[in-house]
Chain A
Amino acid sequence: MTFEPPRTAPHAVASHALAGIRVVDFSWVMAGPLATKMLAAMGAEVIKIESATRPEHVKRYGWSSILNAGKLSCTINLAMPEGQVLLRRLLGVSDILVENFSAGVLTKYGLGYEALRSVQPDLIYVSASGVGREGPQRDALAYGTLLQAYSGRAGMIAEPNPQLEAMGILPAWTDPVTAMWECCAILAAIRHRRRTGEGAFIDLSMLESTVALLPESLLREELGSGGHAPGGNLDPDAAPGGCFRCAGDDAWLVLSVREDAEWAALCVAMQRADLAGDPRFHDQPARHANRAAAEDIVATWLRTQPAAETEQRLQGLGVPAARSRHVAEIVADPQFDGLFPVLEDGARTIALPWADGAGWRGTLRPAPELGTDNDYVFRTLLGLGSGEIERLTGAGVLR
C-alpha cells in the first residue's frame, strides 16, 4: 500500500480552507464521524484511529461509508501502552483531536485534555458526549435514539407509542445536528487558533445540541402562554394546514394557509367559490376558530386529487404546498444536484449542506478500508522503520 495524497480539487483555494489541518479522529457511531467528514470535505486531513480488535470498527454499516468519506484510516490499539505512546506522537504532529468515548476512556490512557495541553497548548480537543463531560449525569450511558426522548423532542412530534413509529426516533436527528454544532465550534476554534496560537477544549453535549433547537416549547411552558409550538404536521400559524392523503397508494400533500390570499387561492384550486364568502372562513382568526371544518373540506378534496399535479397547481396559485417524497425521488430531483455525489467506488455520499458560488460542496473521496493508510501514518508521520512496524504489528499494537 502506498499513500496517495489528496488530489487537487478544481476549486483549489476555497476547497482547502482547512488545508494543513490534521485531525486525529477517535469518534464513532454517527455524530463525531459526520463532523469530521465535513472537516475532510473542507480540506482537513482526517485520520481515523481504528482497530481490528474492535468489532464496531471491523463491521462497516451502510452509513459508515457515507460518514467516513474523505478520511484516512489507521489501526492502533489504544488499549496497549505502546499504542498510547504512538498516539501521543501522532497528536504531536496534529492540530485537532475529536472523540466521543464513554466518560474517562482517553484520560485513562493518558490522552485526556489536561495531559495533552501541557505539552501541546495549541491542540483543539473536541469531546462530544450524551449530556456533557461535566455535571451530575456526566457518566450516563447514552445513545442518539434515547436522547431524542431525553431532549423532549420525541414527545413533541407525535404521541409516543411502544412501536416507536412516526415519533421522531428515526432517521437520526440528534446525531447529525450535534455534528453540525460540533463542526461549527471547531471552525470557530480554528480561527481563534490561527489568530492567537491558542488551543481549546470543547465539551459538546448532544442533549443540549437538541434542546437548543426547541426553544418555543420551553418558552411557552415558562411563560404559561398556552398554545402550541409547531410539531409533527401541526403548523400553528396555518389554518387550514397539515398533511393530507391524495389519490394513490401512499401519496401525501402538506399545505399551509396563513393568509387570506392563500385561502382564496385554495378555494379556486378546489373549485369552491361558495367557500370564499363563507363566514366561518372569512379571515384568518375565523379559519383558526373553524380549523377542523376547513381541514375536513381540504382532506375530502385532496383524497381524490393526484399529488404531483395538485402540488404544482397550488404552488402556481401561491399556496405553500409540497408532496412528501422519499429519498429516491430526492436523489432524482435536479434541485439537489451536487448534494449526493457519486464517488469513485460507485456509492453515493452526502456533500456539505452549502455550496460556494461555483457550486462546490466539498471534496470527498471514498471511505477508507480499515488500516488503508497505515503506511502513511506509521512511516511518513511517525517515522517508524519496517522492522519496528513489523514488531509492533506482531505485538498487536498496530492492528
Chain B
Amino acid sequence: MLLEGVRVIEWSDRLAAAFCGRILADMGAEVIKIEPPGHGDPLRHIGPMLPGNGHGGGSALFAYANHGKRSITLDPATPVGAKLLMRLLEGAALLVESQDPATLRPLGLAGPEPYAGNPALAVLSATAAGRGSPALAETDLTLTHRAGYAYHQARPVRDPKTTAPLGGADREAPLAAGVAAATAALWGLLVAEQTGVGPRIDCAQLDFMAHLLIEPIADYNRGERAFGRSRNDLRGTEIAGGLVWMLPCRDGLVMISPREQHQWDRWVALLGHPAWSEDRAICGDREARTVHWARLQDEMSVWTRARTRSDVFTLAQAAKVACFPVSTPRDLLDNQQLGHRAFFDRLETADGNSVAMPGLPFVLRTSTGKTLERGRTVHAPALGEANQAVLADVLGMSAREIEALGAQNDV
C-alpha cells in the first residue's frame, strides 16, 4: 500500500538485507530476491526447519525474513545473468545488496556515481562492516563485540574478571540492522523521487550497532575515558533498586519500576503498608531505596512470591505502577495483548498447518481508512519460483526466449 509501485531488487546472503527487503515488501513494495542457482540463499539451510518434506519444509528463519517476496535464481557472474540483472535494475527503484566490489564492478555498481542504466536507482549496501572497509571474517557476535555494544551490555558488574562482555538476544543484531537498512532505503527513495538521482547508501551492521551507544557517548561527553566495568568504581550508576527491581513470583519473575515517589507510595499501599515500608531510613526516597535495594528486594519478594506473575502484573498496573512479567517465548506466543493486536502473521507449512511469526510492530491507518494488514497468512517463496513470471511480466520476455535461457542453464 505505502510503497505501491516500488520495485526492489535484493541481492544478498545477509540476514539484515533480507529483513530490509521483507519490511519493504510488508509495506507494499514488489521485492524480487535474486538467489544463486542450486542451493539459493544459505539461510534456506539453517534451522529450525519447518515441518514437511523436501521442498515443502525449509528454514523457518528464512521464511520469516523472506515471505512476501518473489524468488528468482540468477548468476550475475555469467554474461546472461549479468544482462538480466541489469535489465531488472533498469526498472527498479532500489537495489539492496551486500556483494563485494569485485563482483559489482563489471555491472557498473561499484562506484559512487549513479547507475548508468537507471540514474534514479537507489543502491543500498547492507554489509557487515561497510563498503570500503577491509574484509574481515565476521559473525553477528563478533560484530556486536567489535562495535562496543557487548562491552557496555556487561557494565557495571560486580566481577569483571569472571563476567564477560556479551552479545544480545536471538537474531536481534542483524534484524535491527535490517530495520535501519529499510529506513535508509526509504530515505534513498525519497531522495530519488525528489531529485531524479538515486543515492548510494552504505548501511553497515557494525555502524548500526555502534550507533546504539547512547548512554556511553553521554558518559564520554562528560569526560569518561577509562570505562572500567567494576561496579565498585561505578556506584550510583546501577539501576538495580531505586529505579528497577526484579522480583520472584510463584511461576517466574516480574520487573517493576515504582521510581517516582507517588508510584512508590501506591506500590507499598498495594503491599498493605508493611512495617518496613514505614521506615524512612530505608525507603524514604529514591536515594535511600537505592542504598537499601537488597533489603527491600527481600521484603518485597515475600509478597510477590505468594502470587503469580500475572497477578502481580495486573495488581501493580491497576495501581498505576509500571510492572511486567519476564516473558518466555511461550508467554509471548500466548500473550493476550499481542493476540488482540493481531501481531502475529501465520505462515502456512507444507503439512497443512501454520506457524505464528511476528509481523510489523505498528498499526498504520491512512486518513481514508486504508490499513496495513496485520495477522496475515504469508508464504515463503520457493527457490526460483518466480523465474518464469519475472522474466515474462517484468522483462517482457517471450516463452521462447525464456526457454532458450533455461537450455543454457543460466537461470
A75 contacts chain B at the CB level, 8 A cutoff: no
Q: Count CB-based A-B contacts (< 8 Å).
A: 502
B15 to chain A, nearest CB (A): 10
* Given pairs A173-B172, A254-B150, A315-B137, 18 additional interface contacts (CB within 8 A): A38-B183, A143-B257, A149-B246, A152-B326, A152-B327, A165-B163, A170-B215, A191-B189, A205-B341, A205-B343, A214-B171, A223-B49, A243-B165, A254-B141, A327-B227, A335-B130, A350-B211, A353-B180
Most buried by B among A13, A214, A237, A347: A214
Instruction: Give residues 321-344 of B contacting A (CB, 8 Å).
Output: 321-333, 336-338, 340-341, 343
A238 contacts chain B at the CB level, 8 A cutoff: yes
Given contacts A216-B48, A258-B139, A326-B151, are A165 and B171 in contact (CB under 8 A)?
Answer: no
Determine which of A133, A169, A211, A231 lies in contact with B239 in the assembled complex, contact meaning CB atoms within 8 Å: A169
How many Å lie between the Cα of A169 and that of B157 in the bound state?
Answer: 12
Q: Are B317 and A141 in contact (CB under 8 A)?
A: yes
Q: Are A165 and B157 in contact (CB under 8 A)?
A: yes
Residue of B nearest to A325 (CB): B148
Chain B binder among A46-54, A58-66, A87-95, A381-389: A58-66
Q: Which residues of A contact B140 (CB under 8 A)?
A: 230, 235
B84 contacts chain A at the CB level, 8 A cutoff: no
Determine which of A136, A158, A180 lies in contact with B176 in the assembled complex, contact meaning CB atoms within 8 Å: A180
Residue of B nearest to A157 (CB): B169
B115-154 vs A: 1/0 string, CB under 8 Å? 0000000000000011001001111111101111111111
B68 contacts chain A at the CB level, 8 A cutoff: no
B77 to chain A, nearest CB (A): 22
B244 contacts chain A at the CB level, 8 A cutoff: yes
Residue of A nearest to B319 (CB): A141
Given contacts A233-B167, A326-B152, are A154 and B326 in contact (CB under 8 A)?
Answer: yes
Q: Are A61 and B218 in contact (CB under 8 A)?
A: yes
A293 contacts chain B at the CB level, 8 A cutoff: no
Residue of B nearest to A142 (CB): B322
Determine which of B137, B197, B370 lies in contact with A321 in the assembled complex, contact meaning CB atoms within 8 Å: B137
Q: Which residues of B contact A322 (CB under 8 A)?
A: 138, 142-143, 145-146
How many Å lie between the Cα of A354 and that of B238 in the bound state?
Answer: 32
Chain A binder among B30-38, B198-206, B387-395, B398-406: B198-206
Determine which of A38, A157, A189, A221 lies in contact with B166 in the assembled complex, contact meaning CB atoms within 8 Å: A157
Q: Are A219 and B143 in contact (CB under 8 A)?
A: no
Q: Are A122 and B169 in contact (CB under 8 A)?
A: no
Q: Which residues of A contact B129 (CB under 8 A)?
A: 335
Q: Are B203 and A353 in contact (CB under 8 A)?
A: yes
Given contacts A162-B240, A180-B176, A241-B141, are A327 and B152 in contact (CB under 8 A)?
Answer: yes
Residue of B nearest to A34 (CB): B214
Q: Which residues of B contact A208 (CB under 8 A)?
A: 338, 341, 343, 358, 360-362
A-B contact pairs, 14 of them (CB 8 A): A17-B187, A67-B214, A143-B244, A153-B172, A161-B246, A166-B154, A169-B244, A187-B190, A218-B357, A225-B49, A230-B171, A330-B147, A353-B207, A354-B202
Determine which of A30, A149, A161, A166 lies in contact with B325 in the assembled complex, contact meaning CB atoms within 8 Å: A149
B269 contacts chain A at the CB level, 8 A cutoff: no
Q: Which residues of B contact A146 (CB under 8 A)?
A: 244, 255-257, 322-324
Q: Are A200 and B364 in contact (CB under 8 A)?
A: yes
Q: Which residues of B contact A38 (CB under 8 A)?
A: 183
Determine which of A141, A189, A200, A230 lies in contact with B320 in the assembled complex, contact meaning CB atoms within 8 Å: A141
Determine which of A18, A168, A349 lies in contact with B153 in the assembled complex, contact meaning CB atoms within 8 Å: A168
Q: Are B179 and A330 in contact (CB under 8 A)?
A: no
B153 to chain A, nearest CB (A): 6
Q: Which residues of B contact A171 (CB under 8 A)?
A: 149, 152-153, 212-216
Q: Are B139 and A225 in contact (CB under 8 A)?
A: no
B12 to chain A, nearest CB (A): 15
Chain B contact residues, majority secondary structure: mixed
Total number of A residues with any Cβ neighbor in B under 8 Å: 153
Instruction: Give residues 75-99 of A contacting B (CB, 8 Å).
Output: none
A306 contacts chain B at the CB level, 8 A cutoff: no
How many Å lie between the Cα of A352 and that of B366 in the bound state?
Answer: 27
Given contacts A348-B221, A354-B201, are A185 and B362 in contact (CB under 8 A)?
Answer: yes
Q: Which residues of B contact A254 (CB under 8 A)?
A: 141-142, 145, 150, 165, 167
A217 contacts chain B at the CB level, 8 A cutoff: yes
Q: Are A215 and B357 in contact (CB under 8 A)?
A: yes
Q: Which residues of A contact B161 (CB under 8 A)?
A: 245, 249-250
Determine which of A132, A214, A225, A355 lies in contact with B169 in the assembled complex, contact meaning CB atoms within 8 Å: A214
Instruction: Give residues 195-251 of A contacting B (CB, 8 Å).
Output: 196, 198-205, 207-223, 225, 227, 229-233, 235, 237-238, 241-245, 249-250
Q: Are B340 and A134 in contact (CB under 8 A)?
A: yes
